[in-house]
Amino acid sequence: MLKYFKTILNYTGLVCMFFILMNIQVTSAKSLHPENAPEQDKVFRAGASMSNITPPLGGGLVGNFGTPPPATHVHDELHARCLALDDGSTKLLFIIVDNIGMNRDLMDEAKGIITEETGVPSSNILISAIHTHSSVSAQGVGDKRRSWSAGGEFDDYQKFMIRRIGDAARIAINNLEPARIGWGAGSVPEHVFVRRWIMKPGTPAVNPFGEQDKAVMNPGIGNPGLLKPASKPDTDVSFISVQSTDGRPIALLANYGLHYVGGVPKGHISADYFAIFADRIQELLKADRQDPPFIGIMSNGTSGDVNNINFGGTPEKNPPYAKMRKVAEDCAREVYRVHNNIEYHDWVPLNATAENLTLNVRKPDKQLIKRSEEVLKRPDTVKPVHRLEGAYAEKILSMLNWPDQVDIVVQTFRIGDLGVAAIPFETFAETGLEIKATSPYKSTFVIELANGCYGYLPTPEQHELGGYETWLSTNKVEKEASRKIVATILSQFASMK
């Protein structure tokens, strides 16, 4: 009988030990996968920061043809602004930089520093430019900037930017605190217009290569040759909002598909309407003088063919900075209106994916090479077919040293049921609209000039119309590139569902 009871006790002990071990395994699994954890165990955190990246006066302000004029005045300081999100197992970093554009090598260097100092993998780090035309070059100067794929040593300003981008990420992570997150989208159609117009048959529209285009960029208000815009803009202003668990605003990251506004006096450094929006949304949310500071951020959406000029309307006359203040005010007020009614979540799953996509680089044919050589040999007395004929002849010949292929980063993020895509081009609005329409997520937006800067990205249909954005060397990659990028993004989105 005693032996029988000992057997029962041993069996009972084994059963108890089995359930204890099972409980440990389940608890461990829940800690590794917070989406499986009990509601009370899930902690979502957010933090934000900005670091000053204003260059010294004297550097050339890039964004237009010709010799960049030197910076003589700082109207508003330039920054790198960072939003950090953490669901307990995954951290995401969104870093928006007040610059016209940055090459991949600079961004990769900054990401390497961030990964080393914070542990966040590069696939989870987005770095993008706002595309202000009132900043000095972050792509180097002279031949290095014009080569678009050049490596080599970073100059002093590039080194400074790399370090300050890294600082922004590190400080944002230092500022992580328990938070809630929500997102939404409004509409601000009054400031976005497709700048490419299809011209009436017979309207002269010669390009620098001596060919006739069907579409013209910035054709002029009141031009009698105007037929219709070549596409349509994306009027959405989307945003992500994070606040502390007691409702204090932490940061707001917005996205609007407007190239830039301008209206800046010669020699002025400015972050354009992007910075004014950041300041105004802070004011509307009553988030001034907080500790840590509230960070407002505006990123550039798909705006490669969009500006704020209605060529089918009447001319406007605005004093310096007035139009960008108007754009920023209208965007901020629309975001604030929608913001008051969004749903905040105590926890959402985060995910990110990034991969290299190989694209073919466009190259000039023998006929265009010969023509370009002849153009550059002509005497100055010969009238060019286009005012930029000589400039593009130089560009065409420089393309002979370009690689045959280039690897670009295509990156996507999941934030609950929000999808965010990142494209390293000045992307046409119709590409962004296609991604939004076909995304598997309830809400989606696209950030351009992220993780690189490879020129314009027209669709194949827009290539057929011609125009500045399609010209060889302004557009650098194969004509099917937009379709390949969209397919990659949609595949990435599906893999994270």
Q: Is 125 a member of any domain? A: yes
Q: Are residues 443 and 393 in the same domain?
A: no
Tens of pLDDT along 384-420? 999 999 999 999 999 999 999 999 999 999 999 999 9
Whole-number percent of the chain with pLDDT over 70: 90
**pLDDT digit string (tens) for 278-293?**
999 999 999 999 999 9
Average pLDDT of span 237-257: 98
Q: Are residues 474 and 373 in the same domain?
A: no
**Cβ pair 457, 485 in contact under 8 A:** yes
> Lowest-pLDDT range, 2-16, 430-444, 467-481?
2-16
Q: What is the mean pLDDT of residues 15-24?
A: 41
Q: What are the structure tokens assigned to 280, written together? A: 């105004």
Please check whether residues 329 and 391 belong to one and the same domain: no
Angstrom distance (rounded) from CA 191 to CA 246 = 35
**Average pLDDT rounded to a whole number, residues 24-37:** 44
For range 4-25, the mean pLDDT: 41
Kindly state whether residue 180 falls inside one of the protein's structural domains. yes
Same domain, 376 and 461: no
Q: Torsion angle of alpha carbons 331, 337, 341, 346, nearest 10°?
A: 40
Question: Has residue 185 got a pLDDT over 50?
Answer: yes
Asked if the structure places residue 13 within a domain, the reply is: no
Instruction: Decide if pLDDT at 32 tops 70.
Output: no
187-209 confidence digits (pLDDT tens): 999 999 999 999 999 999 999 99
Residue 457 has a pLDDT of 98
- Kindly state whether residues 330 and 424 are assigned to the same domain: yes
Angle, alpha carbons 414-26-13 (nearest 5°):
180
- 371 and 416 in a single domain? The answer is no
Contact yes or no for 49/172 (Cβ under 8 A): yes
* Inside any domain, residue 414: yes
Q: Does residue 351 have a pLDDT over 70?
A: yes
Within a domain: 144: yes
For residue 122, tell me if it sits in a domain. Answer: yes
> Can you give the pLDDT at residue 141?
77
Could you give the angle at the alpha carbon of 83 between the alpha carbons of 77 and 87, nearest 5°? 170
Domain coverage including residue 487: 45-192+228-358+402-496
373 and 486 in one domain? Answer: no
Going by C-alpha positions, the residue among 437, 79, 17 that lies closest to residue 236 is 437
Q: How far apart are CA 301 and CA 254, in angstroms?
A: 9
Distance CA 343, CA 416 (A): 12
pTM of the model: 0.91
Among 374, 401, 428, the domain boundary falls at: 401
| 342 shares its domain with 491 | yes
The angle formed by the CA atoms of residues 324, 329 and 331, to the nearest 5 degrees, is 95
Residues 321, 314: Cα–Cα separation, whole Å: 19
Q: Is 287 helix (H, G, I), strand (E, B) or coil?
A: coil
Q: Confirm if 48 and 175 have CB atoms less than 8 A apart.
A: yes
E runs forming strands in 174-307:
177-187, 193-194, 196-199, 215-217, 226-229, 236-244, 249-256, 268-269, 295-300, 306-307
410 in the same domain as 457: yes
User: Is pLDDT at 362 greater than 70 in this prediction?
Assistant: yes
Q: What is the pLDDT of residues 73-110, one digit of tens each?
A: 999 999 999 999 999 999 999 999 999 999 999 999 99
Q: Does 29 map to a domain? A: no
- Strands (E) across 116-169 are located at 125-129, 135-136
**H or E element: which one contains 93?**
strand 91-97
Q: What is the model's pLDDT at position 329?
A: 98
Specify the pLDDT at position 10: 47
Residue identified by tokens 């027209």 is 458
Share above pLDDT 90 across residues of the chain, in percent, rounded to a whole number = 86
User: Is residue 304 domain-shared with residue 378, that is, in the same domain?
Assistant: no
Whether the predicted pLDDT of 18 surpasses 60: no
Model confidence at 250: pLDDT above 90: yes
Write down the pLDDT at residue 61: 92
Alpha-carbon span 105 to 88, nearest angstrom: 30
pLDDT at 12 over 50: no
The answer to whether residues 291 and 350 belong to one domain is yes
Query: Does 322 have pLDDT greater than 90?
Result: yes
Ranges 15-19, 379-383, 430-434, most confident: 430-434
- Number of domain units in the chain: 2
Amino acid at 212: Q
On whether residue 134 sits in a domain, the answer given is yes
In terms of pLDDT, which residue wins out, 36 or 376?
A: 376
Check: CB of residue 106 under 8 Å from CB of residue 161.
yes
Output the pLDDT for position 146: 53
For residues 315 and 327, state if they share a domain. yes
Give the integer Cα–Cα distance in Å for 122 and 352. 10
Helix runs in 223-359, H state only? 272-284, 322-339
Reported confidence tier of residue 35, pLDDT bands at 50, 70, 90 = low
